[in-house]
Amino acid sequence: MILSELATPALLLEKEKLMVNIARMQASADRLGVQLRPHLKTLKAARAAEVLMTSGARGITVSTLKEASYFLEHGFKDIVYAVGMVPAKLPEVASMMARGADIKIMTDNLEVARVIATEANQSGISYKLLIEVDCGDNRGGLHSESEELLHIAELIVNSSAHFQGVLTHAGHSYGANDISAIEKIAEQERETVVRAATRVRTAGYAVDTVSLGSTPTGLYATDLTGITELRAGVYTVFDMDQQSRGVCETEEIALSVLSCVIGHNKAAGKILLDAGGLALSKDRSADKFRPEVGYGQICNSDGTVIPELYVTSVSQEHGHVRVRDVNDYALFPVGSHLRILPVHACMTAAAYDYFNIIENGVISEKWDRVNGW
Amino acid sequence: MILSELATPALLLEKEKLMVNIARMQASADRLGVQLRPHLKTLKAARAAEVLMTSGARGITVSTLKEASYFLEHGFKDIVYAVGMVPAKLPEVASMMARGADIKIMTDNLEVARVIATEANQSGISYKLLIEVDCGDNRGGLHSESEELLHIAELIVNSSAHFQGVLTHAGHSYGANDISAIEKIAEQERETVVRAATRVRTAGYAVDTVSLGSTPTGLYATDLTGITELRAGVYTVFDMDQQSRGVCETEEIALSVLSCVIGHNKAAGKILLDAGGLALSKDRSADKFRPEVGYGQICNSDGTVIPELYVTSVSQEHGHVRVRDVNDYALFPVGSHLRILPVHACMTAAAYDYFNIIENGVISEKWDRVNGW
């Protein structure tokens, strides 16, 4: 099938670029001596997980229990659910464990840990618990020096649940756009979670897993001594957010949205596309370093980047493109196709049920995805 | 089923508020003497369309051909596809017409009109065409004084296609936050599309449909002389975007996302929810008039608004809530439920496959939705 036969908007994934990106992070993990546990929140596709495993990854990370269940059904049993656990979600975890899942759950909250310990004691189900540590992202996680860290570890060790280890995520690595700053954040990420592991071990408890990761720190860390596993996701396809931070080149972005020109509003100086806020997402994370990118970088239908042409604004089903000059109307007539490199791949892909896989410029297969909750 | 049994995040639709909102716009259309053709891009649910028709609406508006096809399958035949047509999408329209759809398509482009005329002549299919007019939104549409307007009408009238009329949308009514400004935009919207219709009629061509609409102008127009139909969508449920513009009260918002508190990051002064950028969307349209709203207004699980508590930032699966003071941790413990009133209902709802319908505080049924393309 050729691209021009696709109904638009459509989600495209270039297999060759995907494979290069996967190999790059795998080489980084191998060089640093850690296991790579890719975060499937970006691709949410069983076929992608297969490719990652074949390339050397071990285990997966997910952001929803629906993802966990989907990947379990496809044979992926070693799962980290890297979003804070709540008691109401324990029965679903227990159900997956009964179906063979080796699933690790996470909290940073003593009360939740207490419920997990109690539930484990009552049911005999050995929930595997990671404690989340905050390395500067200011999202979830305990301070590595906190008392709660040791209290939770102690509570779990003395229950029928299993204390698995510690985990952190340097989400603040997205706030930097030079490699030396990212290297420093990577070292802060490593130091913090290793410090947490050391404190727990010093208290007398075994720590199997010392987990960290983000795409920038995974690619640019220079030393991961004391770490057992690296988690990252968006590196598989990259996006304009990562490009704006210097983490990848535009040409390495493997994900795009195929769109059709549906109008020329010459009075307003714009071209209209059939990919709007729903097809691209309203994520503006590239703004910090490249506000001109707007809602995406525009390429020709073959993927060649068109300099200085961006989706400048969106409504629900319209992408608005400010023309560079009047010649753009002739270059991009109504009915012609353009590709858009997304600002944030995870957000954009979530609007689609499957990827159209592109190999040698044609669609070779479709990979289904899991969305929602 | 009670709310606390729902897996979170979950999409809630309060039936009582929905019915009041639907009645309000229907009363406006009735008072102004125009047909109401609700835009189903917001709810995308056959059950919602049934309720709208029972309440007096005639015909529906859609933003994608997938919506058109879904509603056709559910028996809704009178459809306006209010996004610019392209030749590649004509076969799908022809297929729906063969299945009984009375579908009206739209363009503002002479070349597209030429292809539609040619296709109609060759196939004998009488595509019904509306011409889009720009009343100041600067998205799609021709100027009401443009020569192309008459050229397209002439071209279609002299083909096997059917010239249906003219259509406009005052999307710029979202840029105002006082009723007198909205009233002026409503009159500009009316004047522009009536002027376009008059020019076409003066040129000798019949104009069946003179269509306009948006939620603000639909509710606050004082005169719709010359108009045949009104299109609007988000009024059915409203959102914080509309609230920030004074179009509705917070208590009239019928859509919300049920979420669970998954963490307290006391060092960072925040509560974390399991509803993030995917569950809420990254739409920030309330920013212009109410930047404090962020990604949504927080309510108790029963829907009572909690003053000055908002989703202040989001990552993919996390909503970050800046606490007002330390008492908020005790008020909203990990595991407790909160509801979030979305910034932009259309964007938020699109992340879910169905609505949980709330009546008398409990879930009475589920309404399926159509998403994607």
**pLDDT tens readout for residues A320-332:** 999 999 999 999 9
Task: Indicate whether this model's pTM tops 0.95.
Answer: yes
Residues of A in contact with B333 (CB under 8 A): 111
**Inter-chain touch A109–B334, beta carbons under 8 Å:** yes
Contacts with B, A 215-234, CB within 8 Å: none
Give the model's pLDDT for residue A175: 86
pLDDT of residue B1: 84
Q: Determine the pLDDT at residue A292.
A: 98
Contact B262 A85 (CB under 8 A): yes
Q: Is the dihedral of CA A108, A112, A114, A116 positive or negative?
A: negative
**How many CB pairs below 8 Å do chains A and B form together?**
172
A267–B134: do the CB atoms touch at under 8 Å? yes
Minimum-distance CB partner of B282 among A112, A171, A281: A281
CA distance A353 to A337: 21
Q: How far is B90 from chain A (nearest CA, A)?
A: 11
CA distance A210 to A84: 17
Interchain proximity B86–A281, CB inside 8 Å: no
Chain segment A8-33, per-residue pLDDT in tens:
999 999 999 999 999 999 999 999 99
Nearest-by-Cβ selection for A87 from B85, B109, B335:
B335
Q: Which of B217, B273, B216, B267 lies closest to B239, judged by CA?
A: B216
Integer CA distances (angstroms), A266 to A272, A310, A328, B187, in order: 10, 17, 10, 24
Please give the residue of chain B at the shortest CA–CA distance from A352.
Answer: B372
Q: Looking at the partner chain, which of A107, A139, A317 has a beta carbon nearest the beta carbon of B318? A: A139
B9 CB within 8 Å of a chain A CB: yes
Which residues of B are less than 8 Å from A333 in CB distance?
A: 111
**Would you call A88 and B335 a contact, using CB atoms and an 8 Å cutoff?**
yes
Question: Among positive and negative, which fits the CA dihedral A76, A80, A84, A89?
Answer: positive
Q: Is A111 on the interface with B (CB under 8 A)?
A: yes
Q: List beta partners, residue B128.
A: B104, B162
Answer whether A334 touches B (CB < 8 Å). Answer: yes
Say how far apart CA A116 and CA A122 lie, in whole Å: 10
Q: What is the bridge-based pairing of β-strands B209-212 and A102-107?
A: unpaired
In this complex, do B63 and A317 lie within 8 Å of one another by their Cβ atoms? yes
Cβ of B335 within 8 Å of Cβ of A111? The answer is yes
CB of A114 within 8 Å of any CB in chain B?
no
Q: Which residue of A has its CA nearest to B5?
A: A88
The partner residue sitting opposite A7, judged by closest CB among B320, B346, B373, is: B373
The answer to whether A312 touches A321, Cβ cutoff 8 Å, is: yes
Mutate to test the interface with B, among A265, A284, A343, A371 (most CBs of B within 10 A): A265
Residues from chain B contacting residue A351 (CB–CB below 8 Å): 350, 371-372
Measured between alpha carbons, how far is residue A280 from residues A207, A318, A347, A354, B263 in Å? 41, 10, 8, 15, 30
Q: CA B33 to CA B228: how far, in whole Å?
A: 8
Nearest to A347 among B89, B139, B278 (CB): B278
Rounded to whole angstroms, the Cα distance separating B278 from B295 reads: 11
Beta strands B60-62 and B78-81: pairing type?
Answer: parallel
B83 at the A interface (CB within 8 A)? yes
Cβ-defined contact of A268 to B89 (cutoff 8 Å): no
Partner residue opposite A86 with nearest CB, options B86, B262, B282 = B262
Cβ-based neighbour number of residue B290 at 10 Å: 18
Question: Under an 8 A CB cutoff, do A278 and B347 touch?
Answer: yes
pLDDT of residue B122: 98
Chain A residues within 8 A of B320 when measuring between CB atoms: 139
pLDDT at position B175: 86
Best of A262, A266, A271 to substitute, by most chain B Cβ atoms within 10 angstroms, is A262
- Local structure of A31: helix, strand or coil: helix
Nearest to A109 among B112, B140, B264 (CB): B264
- Give chain B as a 3 state SS string: CCHHHCCCCEEEEEHHHHHHHHHHHHHHHHHHCCEECCECCCCCCHHHHHHHHHCCCCCEEECCHHHHHHHHHCCCCEEEECCCCCHHHHHHHHHHHHCCCEEEEEECCHHHHHHHHHHHHHHCCCCEEEEEECCCCCCCCECCCCHHHHHHHHHHHCCCCEEEEEEECCHHHHHCCCHHHHHHHHHHHHHHHHHHHHHHHHCCCCCCEEEECCHHHHHHCCCCCCCCEECCCHHHCCCHHHHHCCCCCHHHCCEEEEEEEEEEECCCCEEEECCCHHHHCCCCHHHHCCHHHECCEEEECCCCEEEEEEECEECCCCEEEECCCCHHHHHCCCCCEEEEECCCHHHHHCCCCEEEEEECCEEEEEEECCCCC
Which of these, A81, A82, A18, lies nearest to A55 by C-alpha position?
A18
Ranges in chain B, pLDDT < 70: none
Contact B262 A171 (CB under 8 A): no
Whether A315 contacts B171, CB under 8 Å: yes
Cα separation of B13 and B357, whole Å?
Answer: 5
Instruction: Choose the mutation target among A81, A174, A257, A282 for the interface with B, i.e. most B CBs under 10 Å.
Output: A282
Residues of B in contact with A89 (CB under 8 A): 7
CB < 8 Å to B84, chain A: 262-263, 272, 274, 334
Say yes or no: B346 contacts chain A, CB-CB below 8 A.
yes
B335 interaction partners in chain A (CB closer than 8 Å):
86-88, 111-112, 115
Long-range contacts of B15-19 (CB under 8 A, 24+ apart): B15/B254, B15/B357, B15/B358, B15/B359, B15/B364, B16/B359, B17/B237, B17/B252, B17/B253, B17/B254, B18/B48, B18/B51, B18/B236, B18/B237, B18/B254, B19/B51, B19/B55
User: Counting Cβ atoms within 10 Å, is residue B36 exposed (0-12), middle (13-18) or buried (19+)?
Assistant: buried
Instruction: Give the pLDDT confidence score for residue B177 in this predicted structure.
Output: 86
Establish if B69 touches chain A: CB-CB under 8 angstroms.
no
Residue B183 sits at the chain A interface (C-beta within 8 Å): no
Q: Spell out the per-residue pLDDT of chain A, length 373, in tens.
A: 889 899 999 999 999 999 999 999 999 999 999 999 999 999 999 999 999 999 999 999 999 999 999 999 999 999 999 999 999 999 999 999 999 999 999 999 999 999 999 999 999 999 999 999 999 999 999 999 999 999 999 999 999 999 999 999 999 988 888 999 999 999 999 999 999 999 999 999 999 999 999 999 999 999 999 999 999 999 999 999 999 999 999 999 999 999 999 999 999 999 999 999 999 999 999 999 999 999 999 999 999 999 999 999 999 999 999 999 999 999 999 999 999 999 999 999 999 999 999 999 999 999 999 999 9
CB of B130 within 8 A of CB of B167?
Answer: yes
Return the number of other C-beta atoms located less than 10 Å from residue B327's C-beta.
9
Q: Is B79 on the interface with A (CB under 8 A)?
A: no
CB contact under 8 A, B92 and A7: yes
Residue-wise pLDDT for A123-176, tens only, equals 999 999 999 999 999 999 999 999 999 999 999 999 999 999 999 999 998 888
C-beta of residue B257 within 8 angstroms of C-beta of residue B280 = yes
SS3 state at A28: helix
* Minimal CA separation from B250 to chain A, in Å: 22
Chain B residue with Cα closest to A262? B84
User: Which residue bears the tokens 């932009």?
Assistant: B344
Q: Tell which of B105, B316, B321, B346 to mutate to test the A interface (max A CBs under 10 Å).
A: B316
